[in-house]
Amino acid sequence: MFFPILDIILKLSIEKKLKMTKRTSLPRLYLLAFLLLLGSHTHSYGQKNSKSTPNFVIIFADDLGYGDLGTYGHPTIRTPHLDRMAYEGQKWTNFYVGASVCTPSRAALLTGRLPIRNGMSSSKSRVLFPNSKNGLPANEVTLAEQLKKAGYSTACIGKWHLGHKEQYLPTNNGFDYYFGIPYSNDMDHVGKGNYKKLAKGGQKSIIKEDYNVPLLRNTEVIERPANQNTITRRYSDEAVSFIKENKDKPFFVYLAHNLPHIPLFASKDFLGKSKRGLYGDVLEEIDNGVGKIIAALKDEGLAENTIVVFTSDNGPWLPFKTHGGSAGLLRAGKGSTWEGGMREPGIFWGPGKIKPGVISDLGSTMDLFTTFSNMAGIPVPDDRVVDGVDLSPTLLEHGASPRESILYYRQNELYAVRLGDFKAHFITNGVYGQFGKKEIHNPPILYNLSEDPSEQFDIAEDHPEVLTKINELVAAHKSKLIKGKDMLAERE
Ligand SMILES: [Ca+2]
């Protein structure tokens, strides 16, 4: 009895696939309806969207801290669209970046690899500058290059910071389209206004002409200085346009805002509106753009088959008083290997795919490379070490994250390691004139980050077995590590 039914289902589905236009008799239609009802648990009729290759949108803020969003506990910054994304999707509370400053963090996200492996970290320079000679090596495989293999349309909108010369730009790294400022918004400083004075108590009157940064479309400079007053809005609008233009193909949008990196700018609809001041104005404009992107996905019927991620490249830049963000309850900020430097908000939204919840397992921006490659059916390169792991079990089903550890590099030195709940600091160091001097710890300082997220209480003496495991992990990592040629040091 069972096999004849299977046989009929098979026949009917083959007929359907061959698009046979022969008129189907009434009894057969009834039979088909019955069988469809019967098989609704095991067959995917009517679920086309959930089975096809998903679209990906990564929204990457600059210098936004763990404590800067409403959903992560900020008391006055209003981020209703991000809060809703977190509520409808997954909010990760132990989500990390690959480095605590711009260039290496961006390289880590796009290649799935620790920056030390591809020369995107250096003992001589922390990031790339407008007079840097080099950029991301051509033999690195970016997430955009991966997704191109499966026919994706790809756009990079916003801050690049992986090399501003033509051969290093997004259009030579797997992106069909680029619109943005190719490095930080505080570079090319030419005017009298200088945000650095803010650290000493000061100057707030900064105009866009003070920073002569170029705005590029693909490889052409279309505006200089870039009008930073409107840049956040324009980036979000570009993302919406690209989504609408590419709605019939799978697409990948990497939207890397230049803000809230200092100097801060907001368009007139947002200026002076936030209780948090200018920094809050900037974040509320970024959040507004997130809302526009989600609305566009819904309007175009793409929401069920798209995954949107929001995170930031590193923690808040703390010396600049209210112009810098907040790491919330985490210690220190940008540039450091304390939690405030490298743990970030991590929000995943995708109503057709992401199982809603708050996730306290470990994740990293490097995992986006592996996860999205796998979701698109593209093998991860096997001729090099890829540090990303596939977070799909957690994203789709609340399974345990396969990530067990986090390596905290500062430039080319391994400062700290997290294994499960525990984090060992081998080296600690101040940054931007704050948080003390460089110290080497032997034995290392040990914290339990689940019980002590602010890194206050050293428990190394009580847990020698944990330190042994972490030392083994470090030895295994270092024994296989091949450092890439330094791409950050050389200047013109
Ligand atoms: Ca940054």
**DSSP notation for 252-301:** EEEEE--TTSSSP---TTTTT--TT-HHHHHHHHHHHHHHHHHHHHHHTT
Q: How far is the CA of 61 from the centre of ligand 1 (A)?
A: 8
The C-alpha atoms of residue 240 and residue 144 are separated, in whole angstroms, by 18
In-domain check, residue 14:
no
In-domain check, residue 32:
no
In-domain check, residue 45:
no
Mean pLDDT over the full length of the chain: 91
Q: Is the pLDDT of residue 48 over 70?
A: no
pLDDT of residue 28: 52
Q: How far is the CA of 19 from the centre of ligand 1 (A)?
A: 53
The C-alpha atoms of residue 382 and residue 132 are separated, in whole angstroms, by 31
**Domain C-terminal end among 367, 386, 403:** 403
Tell me what the mean pLDDT of segment 41-66 comes to. 71
Specify whether 110 is located in the same domain as 251.
Answer: yes
Q: Are 264 and 257 in contact (CB under 8 A)?
A: no
Q: How far is the CA of 183 from the centre of ligand 1 (A)?
A: 10
CB neighbours of residue 433 within 10 Å:
8
Tell me what the mean pLDDT of segment 285-302 comes to. 98
The C-alpha atoms of residue 450 and residue 430 are separated, in whole angstroms, by 24
pLDDT tens, residue by residue, 320-354: 999 999 999 999 999 999 999 999 999 999 999 99
Indicate which CATH number applies to the domain containing 451.
Answer: 3.30.1120.10
Q: How far is the CA of 297 from the centre of ligand 1 (A)?
A: 27
Specify whether 412 is located in the same domain as 395.
Answer: no
Query: What residues contact residue 446 under an 8 Å CB cut-off, 6+ apart?
Result: 422, 423, 424, 425, 458, 459, 460, 463, 466, 467
Specify whether 140 is located in the same domain as 175.
Answer: yes
CA 120 to each of CA 77, 104, 127, 147, 209: distance values in angstroms, whole numbers, following the listed order: 33, 5, 8, 22, 30
Q: How far is the CA of 238 from the centre of ligand 1 (A)?
A: 21
Instruction: Name the 3-class secondary structure at 400.
Output: coil
156 is catalytic: no
Tell me what the mean pLDDT of segment 75-82 comes to. 98
Q: How far is the CA of 334 from the centre of ligand 1 (A)?
A: 7
pLDDT of residue 199: 87
Helix ranges restricted to H, 139-224: 143-148
pLDDT of residue 36: 45
Q: Please give all residues whose CB falls under 5 A of ion ligand 1, grouped by chain where several chains appear.
A: 62-63, 102, 313-314
Token pair for 50: 């959930």
Indicate which CATH number applies to the domain containing 65.
Answer: 3.40.720.10
Cα 403-408-411 angle, rounded to 5 deg = 140
pLDDT band at 205 (very low <50, low <70, confident <90, very high): confident
Q: How far is the CA of 115 from the centre of ligand 1 (A)?
A: 15
DSSP tag of 151: T
Q: How far is the CA of 175 from the centre of ligand 1 (A)?
A: 21
Specify whether 339 is located in the same domain as 453.
Answer: no
In-domain check, residue 485:
no
Token pair for 256: 């890397």
Q: Is the pLDDT of residue 396 over 90?
A: yes
Pairing of the two strands 363-364 and 405-410: unpaired
Among candidate residues 102, 156, 257, 425, the one labeled active-site is 102
Helix ranges restricted to H, 415-463: none
Q: Chain centroid to CA 370: how far? A: 13
User: What residues form DSSP beta bridges with 90?
Assistant: 348, 357
Q: Are 101 and 344 in contact (CB under 8 A)?
A: no
DSSP tag of 228: T
Q: Which residue has the higher pLDDT, 445 or 52?
A: 445
Tell me what the mean pLDDT of segment 64-80 comes to. 98
Q: Is the pLDDT of residue 40 over 50?
A: no
Q: Is the pLDDT of residue 11 over 70?
A: no
Q: How far is the CA of 102 from the centre of ligand 1 (A)?
A: 4
pLDDT of residue 418: 99
Among candidate residues 74, 161, 164, 323, the one labeled active-site is 161
In-domain check, residue 41:
no
- Domain residues for 472? 407-480
pLDDT of residue 130: 98
Tell me what the mean pLDDT of segment 283-298 comes to. 98
Q: Is the pLDDT of residue 22 over 70?
A: no
Specify whether 358 is located in the same domain as 321.
Answer: yes
In-domain check, residue 15:
no
Q: Which residue has the higher pLDDT, 201 or 185?
A: 185
Q: Which residue has the higher pLDDT, 63 or 41?
A: 63
Helix ranges restricted to H, 149-270: 231-245
**Domain C-terminal end among 370, 403, 436:** 403
Specify whether 314 is located in the same domain as 431.
Answer: no
pLDDT band at 52 (very low <50, low <70, confident <90, very high): confident
Q: How many helices (H) and strands (E) does the chain have?
A: 12, 15
**DSSP notation for 306-371:** EEEEEEESS---GGGGGGS---TTSSS-TTSSSHHHHEEEEEEE-TTTPPPEEE-S-EETHHHHHH
| Four-residue CA torsion sign, 210, 212, 216, 222 | positive
CA 306 to each of CA 206, 419, 486: distance values in angstroms, whole numbers, following the listed order: 39, 32, 36
Q: Is the pLDDT of residue 23 over 70?
A: no
Q: How far is the CA of 313 from the centre of ligand 1 (A)?
A: 5
Reported as type and span, the H/E element at residue 423 is strand 422-428
Specify whether 454 is located in the same domain as 370.
Answer: no
The C-alpha atoms of residue 484 and residue 118 are separated, in whole angstroms, by 4
Q: Is the pLDDT of residue 4 over 50?
A: no
Specify whether 351 is located in the same domain as 314.
Answer: yes
Q: How far is the CA of 317 from the centre of ligand 1 (A)?
A: 8
pLDDT tens, residue by residue, 483-492: 999 999 999 9
Q: How far is the CA of 260 from the centre of ligand 1 (A)?
A: 9
Nearest to 59 by CA among 143, 154, 158, 141: 158
Q: How many domains does the chain have?
A: 2
Q: How far is the CA of 258 from the centre of ligand 1 (A)?
A: 8
Q: Is the pLDDT of residue 131 over 80?
A: yes
Specify whether 354 is located in the same domain as 457.
Answer: no
In-domain check, residue 90:
yes
pLDDT of residue 408: 98
E strands present in 68-200: 90-96, 153-158, 177-180
Q: How far is the CA of 431 from the centre of ligand 1 (A)?
A: 14
pLDDT band at 201 (very low <50, low <70, confident <90, very high): confident
pLDDT tens, residue by residue, 263-286: 999 999 999 999 999 999 999 999
Specify whether 283 is located in the same domain as 414.
Answer: no
**Domain C-terminal end among 403, 437, 462:** 403
Instruction: Name the 3-class secondary structure at 470.
Output: helix
The C-alpha atoms of residue 368 and residue 111 are separated, in whole angstroms, by 9
Q: Is the pLDDT of residue 24 over 90?
A: no
pLDDT tens, residue by residue, 446-473: 999 999 999 999 999 999 999 999 999 9
* pLDDT cut 90: percent of the chain above it: 87
Specify whether 317 is located in the same domain as 439.
Answer: no
The C-alpha atoms of residue 353 and residue 75 are separated, in whole angstroms, by 30
In-domain check, residue 306:
yes
Q: Chain centroid to CA 196: how far? A: 27
pLDDT of residue 129: 98
Tell me what the mean pLDDT of segment 349-369 comes to. 98
Specify whether 90 is located in the same domain as 128.
Answer: yes
